[in-house]
């Protein structure tokens, strides 16, 4: 397993090994011991899976507020996505900046996102299956988000706004500057 840091403190690109032969392949996609040796202390408690049928489906930008803040490990088992995170940790030198990483069944990369980042993705193919491990249970009362294509963020999404497939909930999210972003330094579980 290759774990690569990014310019954002705590956000990691992970490349699990994949061993194949004529029958297919085998991959160890998560190993708690290896994560601990790398200094990552996330204790995953829930696995989520989504299927997005249409190319150009956008899910995001979302977070859960402390004390229900979530770290996530995202991977794609079918198709491809542009996975995007925005740093929402006030006081962080990268606050309000974003990182975009292509995750696909072909490149087999994963993205580890600590608490304090808004997360979303856009499907690059049809019939995309994404799996995310999270280290806090879903808490609807702690949900937050902002508009995925707010021009203030400068995210180069691979789909035009009028062509994006979005939920009504995501269409109604406020702009980044109007979002009620919580304080991730108070009342949340400490994470690396």
pTM over 0.85: yes
Burial of 154 (0-12, 13-18, 19+ CB in 10 A): exposed
- Asked if residue 66 is part of any domain, the answer here is yes
Residues 7-21, mean pLDDT to the nearest whole number: 95
- Asked if residue 183 is part of any domain, the answer here is no
Q: Any catalytic annotation for residue 132?
A: yes
- Asked if residue 159 is part of any domain, the answer here is yes
Kindly name the residue from 68, 98, 119, 132 that is annotated as catalytic.
132
Write out pLDDT tens, residues 112-134.
999 999 999 999 999 999 999 99
Question: Could you tell me the CATH number of the domain that includes residue 122?
Answer: 2.60.120.10
Kindly name the residue from 62, 68, 98, 119 that is annotated as catalytic.
62
- Asked if residue 191 is part of any domain, the answer here is no
Instruction: Answer yes or no: is pLDDT of 188 > 50.
Output: no
- Asked if residue 69 is part of any domain, the answer here is yes
What domain range includes position 151? 2-19+27-178
Q: Give the H/E segment covering residue 170.
A: helix 168-171
- Asked if residue 189 is part of any domain, the answer here is no
- Asked if residue 106 is part of any domain, the answer here is yes
Write out pLDDT tens, residues 155-173.
999 999 999 999 999 999 9
* Total domain count, the chain: 1
Instruction: Answer yes or no: is pLDDT of 153 > 80.
Output: yes
- Asked if residue 9 is part of any domain, the answer here is yes
The rounded distance, in Å, linking the Cα atoms of 137 and 104 is 25
Residue 17: which of 33, 3, 5 has the closest Cα?
Answer: 3
With a CB cutoff of 8 Å and minimum separation 6, the contacts of 112 are 3, 10, 11, 12, 13, 14, 40, 42, 71, 72, 73
With bands split at pLDDT 50, 70 and 90, how would you rate the model's confidence at 186? low
Q: Any catalytic annotation for residue 138?
A: no
Q: What is the mean pLDDT of the chain?
A: 94
């Amino acid at each position: 397993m290759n774990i690569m840091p990014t310019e954002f403190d705590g956000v990691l690109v992970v490349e699990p090994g994949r061993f194949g032969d004529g029958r297919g392949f085998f991959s160890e996609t998560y190993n708690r011991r290896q994560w601990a040796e790398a200094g990552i202390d996330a204790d995953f408690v829930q696995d989520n899976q989504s299927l997005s049928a249409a190319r150009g489906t956008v899910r995001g930008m979302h977070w859960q507020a402390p004390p229900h803040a979530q770290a996530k490990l995202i991977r794609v088992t079918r198709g491809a996505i542009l996975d995007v995170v925005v740093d929402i940790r006030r006081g962080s030198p990268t606050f309000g900046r974003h990182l975009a990483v292509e995750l696909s069944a072909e490149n087999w990369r994963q993205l580890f996102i600590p608490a304090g980042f808004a997360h979303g993705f856009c499907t690059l193919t049809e019939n995309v299956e994404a799996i995310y491990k999270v280290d806090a249970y879903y808490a609807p009362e702690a949900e937050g988000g902002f508009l995925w294509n707010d021009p203030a963020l400068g995210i180069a999404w691979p789909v035009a706004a009028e062509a994006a497939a979005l939920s009504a909930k995501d269409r109604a999210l406020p702009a980044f500057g109007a979002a009620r972003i919580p304080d991730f330094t108070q009342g949340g579980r400490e994470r690396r």
